[in-house]
Structures are given as C-alpha cells and as structure tokens.
Structure 1
Amino acid sequence: MITIFQEIQVEFEARNMEDSDFHGVRKLLAQLYLKANIDLSELTNTLISQNYIGSVIKDLKCVNEIKSMLLEKCSKCVNKDKLATLLGTEKNAVGVIINERFINIPAQISLPSFQSLWKEVERAKLKKMNYNFSHYVIVSKACRLQVKVQGQNDMRSFLNAEEEYFYQAAEFTCEYSVKGERDSVVSGCWDEDDDEMEPIRVVMVINAKQIDGIMDKLKEVYG
C-alpha cells in the first residue's frame, strides 16, 4: 500500500448570512449550547436579520435565556460574582462573540474572519451605532483532563484552537461541564467513552482593550 501525503489548497468565500443559512447556523448554535433552554430559532433569525455585522441583540427572550443559562451553569465558579455583575449591570456594554464553524474547517480561517469582524465594528461605531462595547463574552467548546497530573495545572484543549489566545488574554473565566450532554459533532477531542477527557464550556470575559493584542497574536500564529 502506498500512502501519498499531499497539501491541498482550498479557498473560502466569505459572505453575509442569509435566510438559506438558517439550518446551518442553528445547528452550529445547537452544538455550542447543547440542551440549554435557549430559543435557538429566535437567535438564528436575529443573527441573519442583522447580517451587516455580528449582531447587537437585547430585550429578546433568547438573550435573557443565554444570560440565565450562563449564570446558572457558572453558579459554582470562583468568578460567579464577577460574571453576575457584568451581565446584570445595565450600564455595561457587553458583546457576545459566537465563533463556530463546522468540523475540519482549519483555524487559519479565524484570522480573516476576526479581521473582518473588527472592521465592521469600527464602521458601525463611525455611524454612531451601538457597538462601543467595553467587554466581550465568548463561550468556547473545550475538553479538560479529568485525571490530575502531578505538578501540572488543569489541562484543557480548545476545539477552536484560536480561542486559546482569547483565553490567555481574558479578564476572567468560568467553566462548566457538559459531560452529561451529547455533542452533535465529534471533533476528535473526546468521545463518549473517554474516561480521561471531560467536555466543558469555557466562558471567557475579554476586555475590549485586549482585542488588538489578541489579533497581533493571531497574525503571528496564522498570518
């Protein structure tokens, strides 16, 4: 048997979301939020309707459900009070970044995607639109080693590799296990019979002032 390793060049075309993307977007949201009590159809429709940029959404049922879910899931985290204050104070301008893609789409795509996002945010701010966020919240899919290794801190691996750099720059984080819930996509990070790797969600709170530094790191790694 002869095995041939060949590098294949693939070009991705970026475009705004449209109605035909509903089922794909909803599926991506479902694999992130799993069995959470969130109206994913409403959230999907909102994202599609505000397709000129990532969306600013408030006063919607699905938004309140996301807030309630995060506060409930993180109720035992050491940073639970910080999270509650951030999400519960009306004056705080907090943006939610949803960074999801289908399996086998490489992390390199994250650099132009985030570059485009921040350009759109800046254009919106110049138009006096309400995109002047002080913080961003990202909920990331990850897994962590359940067996403690002597001399090492908790070991975790992000399914979207670029989110490691957001994690490093986070103002604070919270984590919760989703071991009892089945992911709709198996990424190779764990499977249901893996006793060592525990599927988790990592809630990262990023100060907006850290975005430039994160982008510099993404350029260094994926540029």
Structure 2
Amino acid sequence: MADFNTIRAGAETRTAQIDEGLRAHMNKVYGTMSVGLLVTALAAWAIGTSDQLVMAVFGTPLKWLVMFAPLIMVFAFGAMINRLSAAGAQLFFYAFSAVMGISISYIFVVFTGVSIVQTFLITSAAFAGLSLWGYTTKKDISGWGSFLIMGVIGLVIASVVNIFLQSPAMMFAISAIGVLIFAALTAYDTQKIKTDYIQHAHAMDEEWLAKSAIMGALNLYLDFINLFMFLLQFLGNRE
C-alpha cells in the first residue's frame, strides 16, 4: 500500500507540474501573439494613415513585394526554425508582424477607422471563444488538420487569381469560406499547441519549448489576422 501511495503521489505531482507548465506555455504563446498583433497594428496605422507612405508603398511596383512578402516569410520561417535560436525565432516573428502590418495597411484607406476597430473587437471576442473551446474540449479535432490546410491552399490560390479578376462575387465567396476555415483553425491550432506540449513535457527541453511557443504564437496570429481580414470584408464600412 505504501508503494502504491508513493507511486500515486508521484504521478499526481508530475501531473500538477505538467498542468503548471502548460499554463505557463500557453501564457507565453498568447503573450507573444499579442505583442505581434500590436506590432502589426502600429505598422499598419503608421503606413495607412499617411498619404505619402501609402502612395510610396501601394502606388509603385513595390506593392507586389509588400503583398507577397508575408507569405514568403512564413515559408522561410518554417524552413529556418530548427536552425534559429529561440531569441532569433522571436525576433523573426516580430519582424514578420511588422511586414504583415505594412501589407494590410491599405485597410485604413479602404475602410473607416470605426469599422476597423469594431471588426477587431468582434474578431477578438470570436477568437477568444474559439480558442477557449479548442483548449477545453475533450473532442479530438486533430483530424481536421489535412482538410483545413487544403482549404487554406485553395483560399490562397483563389485570392491570387482574384487580384487580377477583381470579381466581387468571388471575393464574397472567398471571404465567407475564409471565415469558416480560420474559425476552425483557431480551435484546431489551440488544441494542437496543448497536445504538443503534453506529449513533449517529459523532455522539458527549454529551447524546444521556447521555439514551440513562438511557432504556436505564429499559427494563432495567422488565424487571428486572416479571420479579421475576412470579417472586415463583411463588417467594414468603406470610405
């Protein structure tokens, strides 16, 4: 009995340590993501509210680099993450956040400031609810991954095509599907971050955990930004 009690006490202690570590890990993920969103917001506001800067960025061929730079950086980040230190990965994430802010700064020209703020608040509430559900649900939603990734690839291709077609109907369809896909991805990515931590918690590799938190922050950041941009197509009041 004494041995059993010792084993049980040890297991309970280990579980408590994992739970405490998981909370710290998730706080790191959400904190890093929040700083990234702040950097994006400041960069977008600084460019989008200046007529001179808007013309310098979007009135020249530079706009093509600005539009596709975030996509290129995401792929580069995925390829480089294993070679980067945790500090380097975090710096890269913040640089990416700034570039993303520049690339979406046109929203301050297209939409009213009030509708941008309102959409941001709605996105924040929706994101919080979806992420909380993904974190607390007992349902295994890992099977959604392949389907959602295919959906994202389809959205990217359709969005690039529509840059040249400029079809309102196609834009409406892309936005509607985009909201659904990134809403589901928010829950999926949150559960995946939690599951990955629990599976690797026994190793307690601080460098891995730090980089894992940054990658988790990047995934949730992308879910938030895309959800916001697609919702803005429906809720934004145009200038």
TM-score interval w.r.t. the shorter chain? under 0.3
Structure number with bigger Rg: 2
When normalised by structure 2's length, the TM-score is 0.25
Which structure carries more helix by proportion?
2
Larger RCO: 1 or 2 (CA < 8 Å, sep 6+): 2
When normalised by structure 1's length, the TM-score is 0.26
